[in-house]
Amino acid sequence: MTYEHRSNQPYRWKWAVLAVVLAAEIMDLLDATIIAIAGPAVRADLGGGTAFLQWLAAGYTLAFAVGLVTGGRLGDIFGRRRMFLLGAAGFTLMSLACALAPGPAWLVAFRVLQGLFGAVLIPQGLGLIKAAFPPDKLGAAFGAFGPVMGLSAVCGPILAGVLVDADLFGTGWRMIFLVNLPVGVAALAGAVLVLPRAAERDRTLRLDLPGTALLGTALLLLVYPLVQGRELGWPWWCWAAMTASLPAFLLFQRYERRRVRAGATPLVEPSLLAKRRFNAGLLVGLIFFAGLMGLTLIISVYLQLGLGFSPLRAGLTQSPWAFGTALGAVAAQPLSARFGGRKVLVGGTAVGALGVAALLVTLAATGGPASPWPLLPALLVLGVGMGASMAPYFDIVLAAVDEHEVGTASGTLTAAQQVGGAIGVAILGTAFFSWLGQGDFTGSLQRVLWLELALLTLAGALCFLLPPRAREEPAPEQAHDAEPAPAT
């Protein structure tokens, strides 16, 4: 049974739609973070060199980041429900293929395909939620993304440590991909049952293939060096590729303008990029997720290499971070309704900065803790700040996006997060290992934390480019005096 949604009526299955979309988000975020812990076990079983370990994560990240804008546009053209089903089915199938991979080359190839299907799947979620929920409920719906994204990013290493150490049914590392199967099947079944068959497909739109190729090339020139540069020692061609990405983006922009003047369908709606709120949101997300993803990697490395924790113990040490993320996201919803999303965004980054400062004080006082306990309060505060920041972010950025721009906006917003994460990993990772020197892990982490404070300060300052609230509310006297609309 499927349901048809008429846009002038509230959709009765809206919360079920949210659950299905969040299940897809969980699959993607866990898959992007879980491999960092499980990589050594995978290599021990399948063989391969250090390049294999790099490509386990890089293959997925590159394919995902490069395909996101096109994936979002495909939802506008062919329908978001249809593309969600295709992406979920392909992602689940590739998860099974990864679990059964007979060798390193096969596993990397399946990871690339998994990233491409993820790029089709994930951008549809924000559009489906925006279509299913009335404006006054969108804040609560988008608020759920905060805890899900934060918990998935932080819990990925925890889950990887548990699954690899447990060796369930003798599957070893393969279980990190097999766990996607029940989630993927449940998401598919839920999508078939509850996603609305809204009249969302615009039959006048056509996929801009030259624009897709230009944008994909520009993103590849930027993201590939960021993902691989640190591991390769930043050879000259990395800098050349990143420099070449700028004229590639400019060429893409020029081509899109010519396409609009010719009356053809662009890959990215020009009206979207003319919106100040959306552009400011892209910039805030780029910097915020650079700090979040970069710090997640560095803390995992510090706990395992610097303090000698096992993968499981390192993951459990970060559990207060995950709990704080959920707590901050839950608290952010009523706070946003009362004070406005921008104040909560700024306050969340301030609390996150307080957590980073607390980590600095802890490291200075202990000189490198022998147990995880001294780190837990600071990680909890850091998580609260991160969760409170992420909760209102999507609502305030997407509130001004028109219906025909939703697919492009979702893909572009998610792509900015991926590029930001790659930049954060490159900058903070390079700084950490460059400062490591004679093995002073604690000193290197302290310097990275100062960089993290700078990123959070910059993100908080840029939040003032956003409007105070996601959507303007009518004045009380206007709401009181308004006459009810006649029944139809």
CATH H superfamily, domain 1-196: MFS general substrate transporter like domains (1.20.1250.20)
Return the bridge partners of 3, or none. Answer: 196
Q: How confident is the model at residue 343 (pLDDT cuts 50, 70, 90)?
A: very high
SS3 196: strand
pLDDT at residue 226 above 90? no
Question: Domain residues of the chain, as ranges?
Answer: 1-196, 216-266, 271-470
Helix residue ranges, H only, 47-144: 50-78, 80-99, 104-132, 135-143
Query: What integer pLDDT is reported at residue 200 of this predicted model?
Result: 53
Q: Which residue has the higher pLDDT, 392 or 230?
A: 392
Give the pLDDT confidence score for residue 201 in this predicted structure: 57
Query: What is the percent of the chain with per-residue pLDDT over 90, rounded to a whole number?
Result: 29
- Comparing 86 with 216, which gets the higher pLDDT? 86
So what's the pLDDT on residue 438? 67
Cα distance between residue 28 and residue 420, in whole Å: 17
For residue 434, what pLDDT is reported?
82
CATH H-level superfamily of 271-470: MFS general substrate transporter like domains (1.20.1250.20)
Residues 6+ apart with CB under 8 A from 189: none
Residue 90 has pLDDT above 90, yes or no: yes
Model confidence band, residue 39 (pLDDT cutoffs 50, 70, 90): confident
Q: What is the DSSP string of 449-473?
A: HHHHHHHHHHHHHHGGGS-SSSSPP
Q: Which of the residue ranges 264-268, 370-374, 451-455 would you say has the lowest mean pLDDT? A: 264-268
**pLDDT tens, 378-391?**
999 999 998 898 87
* pLDDT score for 486: 42
Lowest mean pLDDT among 4-8, 61-65, 68-72: 4-8
Mean pLDDT computed over 88-103: 94
Interval 121-161: pLDDT, tens: 988 988 888 888 887 787 778 777 766 776 676 677 677 77
**What was the pLDDT predicted at 230?**
75
CA atoms of 411 and 74, how far apart (whole Å): 10
Task: Evaluate whether 413 touches 277 at the Cβ level (below 8 Å).
Answer: no
For the record, the structure tokens of 17 come out as 């739609």
The pLDDT tens digits for 270-327 are 778 788 888 899 999 999 988 988 888 788 888 878 888 876 787 788 888 888 888 8
Give the pLDDT confidence score for residue 276 in this predicted structure: 86
Residue 264 gets which letter from DSSP?
P
Render pLDDT for 238-278 as a digit per residue (tens, 0 to 9): 999 999 999 999 999 899 888 888 878 888 877 787 888 88
Q: Cα separation of 64 and 122, whole Å?
A: 10
| Of the candidate ranges 274-283, 322-331, 396-405, 455-464, the one whose mean pLDDT is the lowest | 396-405
Cβ–Cβ < 8 Å for 123, 414: yes
Q: What Cα–Cα distance (Å) separates residue 200 from each residue in 4, 5, 79, 124, 203?
A: 11, 10, 6, 12, 9
Residue 3 three-state SS: strand
Q: Identify the pLDDT of residue 189.
A: 93
